[in-house]
Structure formats: structure tokens, C-alpha cells
Amino acid sequence: MDIKEDDESRVITPTELQLHDSVTARTGTLWTAVAHIITGVIGAGVLSLAWATAELGWIAGPAALIAFAGVTLLSAFLLSDCYRFPDPNNGPLRLNSYSQAVKLYLGKKNEIVCGVVVYISLFGCGIAYTIVIATCSRAIMKSNCYHRNGHNATCSYGDNNNYFMVLFGLTQIFMSQIPNFHNMVWLSLVAAIMSFTYSFIGIGLALGKIIENQKIEGSIRGIPAENRGEKVWIVFQALGNIAFSYPFSIILLEIQDTLRSPPAEKQTMKKASTVAVFIQTFFFFCCGCFGYAAFGDTTPGNLLTGFGFYEPFWLVDFANACIVLHLVGGYQVYSQPIFAAAERSLTKKYPENKFIARFYGFKLPLLRGETVRLNPMRMCLRTMYVLITTGVAVMFPYFNEVLGVVGALAFWPLAVYFPVEMCILQKKIRSWTRPWLLLRGFSFVCLLVCLLSLVGSIYGLVGAKFG
């Protein structure tokens, strides 16, 4: 049977909103699960992997990619066993969301902490997407300018991306009012196609650059820094960028809930996770290593907007246009869970308040007289959220630093801590036994790396802003 929980406390994630209709049917297979995972993890984060690899160097860079892949796979295995409660094989309760599992295994307080981390992560993604959209829009204009006037032309288009961020914010204010935006199935399909398209273009352009150079750039130590202290913090910031790209723990149980059985859901999910992590790691290796091999110490923070590539200009434009199209919808996908949680909470707390609960209908001539229903609370809340994310992005328009902060904040609690704690409770692992020590040691090491990554990313953010 499926477990029910209090609506007010429920943490909703983007994938849960999109998979809602398919959950009850449970007709998913190994390959549908792999497809959902790959679609969920291939995104804007891949654009920073070349820079992260360049900062770490030819030994530490690939090693970090493999290490994060291993942590992600172990996390997936631990979570897969938590799908059924209390027994991982025959438990009568199916836990179809991450928050349900945390609440049932670890209690209400841990669920609240989990929810805070999830929503901070989603909020951070909104900020990062705003920054990327602005840099990509500006890159398209600069690419056309360089093509017309030569690669040495002055094509600044302003000293910053604020204009494009504000324009993107205005677009999102409008889009955030579209009802049932998360139920548009085509949105996920378009996002998947666009993300794979610009990622493959980036890999292809980097490979072409390597062939043109007829050598592999880079070094074992990575990009040199002014001093050792600065290099240490940049290395940890690079780890934060990798941490942002890898984990899919927050969506795993929702995907597992779509799988048919027999065989047991956890068996299929473990196989799907193994295949997906292998594909993901290979893909990330291509993005990170090809980019570093092409540019060496001049590897840009964003592979497609740093103007290591000038020609073919139309392909660079197309790749950046794909990023823009992907993230315009992706911003809403990551924002809708926050909207849903806030609106549900306010509606439950003030059910009689007209500002919150009442909808007003308007007939728009452009829509052939169809009635559009608007809610004042929804309009104000969603507009305010978009203004806040846009404002933060304008204040801190630093792509790699923001990704590092978001990745470091979310990786340990969501991909390591909660899965480890749930595993210990489910399997009734006694304290100070060998499995207990291994799991706790694993969690502690990941915590230490994430804390250092967070400090390094904040150091980079402050340095970029005030340095």
C-alpha cells in the first residue's frame, strides 16, 4: 500500500510533479528509469565541468569525477532499499518521495531539515539559471559581432549581464502565472532534447579544438593560482561545481515508484542507477576532459560562453539558444515545488481569506474570449519570488561560485547523510560495529569535503564581488 502524509509538511520535488500521473500505473522498466535519471542530471551543471577539471588538473580532475560517481551510486543503492517499509523486500508501505522516507525513518524534525535543504537547493538553481540565461543571451550577440567584425573586435554589449537578467525575470513573472505549468509533458521532452543538444555541441567543439591544436593542453597541477592558499580554495570550489552536477537522490524514490514488479523494484532501480551513473560519468568525462584538453589554462568557467569557440558561429549560437530554451522552462520546473508548498501552506492557514483563496476570472481577446482565472496571492507570491532570485543573481552574477555554493550545500545532506541514517535504522545496524563505522566514516569524509567546498565557494563569491 502507499503511505499518506500531511499535505502541509510534504516536500514536493520537480520530478514528482512531472511523474505524478505515471506513478499509479507503475509500468516503468529499467530503461525508463535510466531515461528519467539521465534527463534529471544532464543540465546546466555540465557547462562548468571543463573549468572544474582544469582547476583540479589531469590527475585530481578525473579522480574527482570518479569519486563523486561512486558516492552517487552508493547513495542510490542505500535509497533503493528504503523504498519499502519496514522490510526492503516485502514491506507493505511504498515510499514514493524522498520526504516521506525521511519522515518515516528519521522523524518529523529531520523531514523539516530535509525540506529546508531541498528548497534552498531549488532556490539556488533558480539563481544559477538566471545567471546562465544572461551569459548565454549575451554570448549569442557577441558571437554574431565577432563573426561580422573579426575576433579582435570590441564586442562588449555592456559591462555586465544585468539587462538580460532583468529581461529574463520579466519573462518568468509572466510564465509563473501559467496554471498547471508542471503538467506540460512536452516541457520535460524539450528540456531533455535541449540539454543533450548543447552538451554534445560543447563536446564536439572541444574535440574539434583538440584536433586543430594537434595536442592536449593542461597539466597535472591544473590552472596555476597566485599563491597556494588561493589554489586550495579554488580546488574546493571546483569540487562544489562537480557536486552540483552529479546527485539524483532527491528524485530516486519517485522514479522507483513508477517501476513495475516483479522483479523487485529495488533490484531494477539498482541496475538502472548503475547504468545511469556509468552513462553520466562517461558524459561528464567527455565534457570535463575534452574541454580542459582543448583550452588548458585558459579553460572558461562556462564552456560555451567563454569564447574559446568563435567558429562556426552559427553552431555556437545554436548551442547557446538551446541553453536559453532549456533553462526558460527549467526555471519554472525548479520553482513550481516552492510555489506549491508556499501556496498550500497559506491556503491551509487562512482558508477564508479572499486575497489568498479567491480566484478572479478575466476574458482575454487574444485567447478568443477564454476565461483566465487569477489569484491575487499567487500573483504576488510568485512575482516576489522571481524578483528575489533575479535580484540575487544581479548582485552575485558569478556562475562557478554560485554553482559551488549550491552544490556544497545540498550534496552531503541529500546524497549522503539522510540515506546513510535511513540505512542504519532500517537494517538495525548496531553502534560501533564494522558496518556502522564504515557508514559513519563515509558520511564524515563527505561532510568534510562539502564543508571545505562551501567555504571555498563562498571565498570565491566574496572575492569576485569585492576583490
Q: What is the pLDDT of residues 240-273, one digit of tens each?
A: 999 999 888 888 998 998 888 888 889 999 999 9
Q: What is the pLDDT of residues 78-111, one digit of tens each?
A: 999 999 988 888 888 888 889 999 999 999 999 9
- Cβ–Cβ < 8 Å for 190, 326: yes
Mean pLDDT of 26-48: 85
What's the confidence (pLDDT) of residue 4?
46
Q: Who's near 105: CB < 8 A, 6+ residues apart?
A: 82, 85, 421, 422, 425, 426
Collapsing DSSP to helix, strand or coil, 156 comes out as: coil
Phi, psi values for residue 9, rounded to 5°: -90, -5
pLDDT above 90 for 16: no
Q: What is the pLDDT of residues 281-331, one digit of tens each?
A: 999 999 999 999 999 999 999 888 876 677 788 998 999 999 998 888 888
Q: What is the spatial distance between Cα 119 and Cα 98, in angstroms, rounded to a whole number?
A: 13
What angle, rounded to 10 degrees, do the helices at 228-245 and 434-466 form? 110
Per DSSP, the residues of 8-30 read GGPPP-HHHHHHHHHHTT--B-H
Collapsing DSSP to helix, strand or coil, 84 comes out as: strand
Q: How far is CA 373 from CA 180, 184, 299, 341, 378, in A?
A: 12, 18, 49, 20, 11
Q: What is the spatial distance between Cα 99 and Cα 463, in angstroms, rounded to a whole number?
A: 36
Per DSSP, the residues of 232-271 read HHHHHHHHHHHHHHS--HHHHHHHHTTB-SSSPHHHHHHH
Q: Which amino acid is at 117?
A: V
What percentage of the chain exceeds 90 in pLDDT?
A: 55
In our burial notation (b when 16+ CB lie closer than 10 A, e otherwise), range 154-169 reads ebebeeebeebbbebb
Q: pLDDT class for 21, splitting at 50, 70, 90?
A: very low
Q: What is the spatial distance between Cα 77 and Cα 326, in angstroms, rounded to a whole number?
A: 30
Nearest to 418 by CA among 103, 113, 102, 120: 102
What's the confidence (pLDDT) of residue 355?
85
| Cis amide leading into 86 (omega within 30) | yes
Mean pLDDT of 54-71: 96
Q: pLDDT class for 11, splitting at 50, 70, 90?
A: low
Q: pLDDT class for 23, splitting at 50, 70, 90?
A: very low
- Cβ–Cβ < 8 Å for 14, 365: no
Q: What would the grid cell of residue 439 be?
A: 557508514
pLDDT above 90 for 41: no
Mean pLDDT of 203-232: 92
Cell numbers 576532459 correspond to: 289
- Report the chain's mean pLDDT, rounded to a whole number: 87
- Cβ–Cβ < 8 Å for 327, 187: no
Strand partners, 94: 2, 84
Q: What is the pLDDT of residues 348-359, one digit of tens each?
A: 888 888 888 887
What's the confidence (pLDDT) of residue 88?
83
pLDDT above 70 for 180: no
What percentage of the chain exceeds 70 in pLDDT?
A: 89
What's the confidence (pLDDT) of residue 26?
76
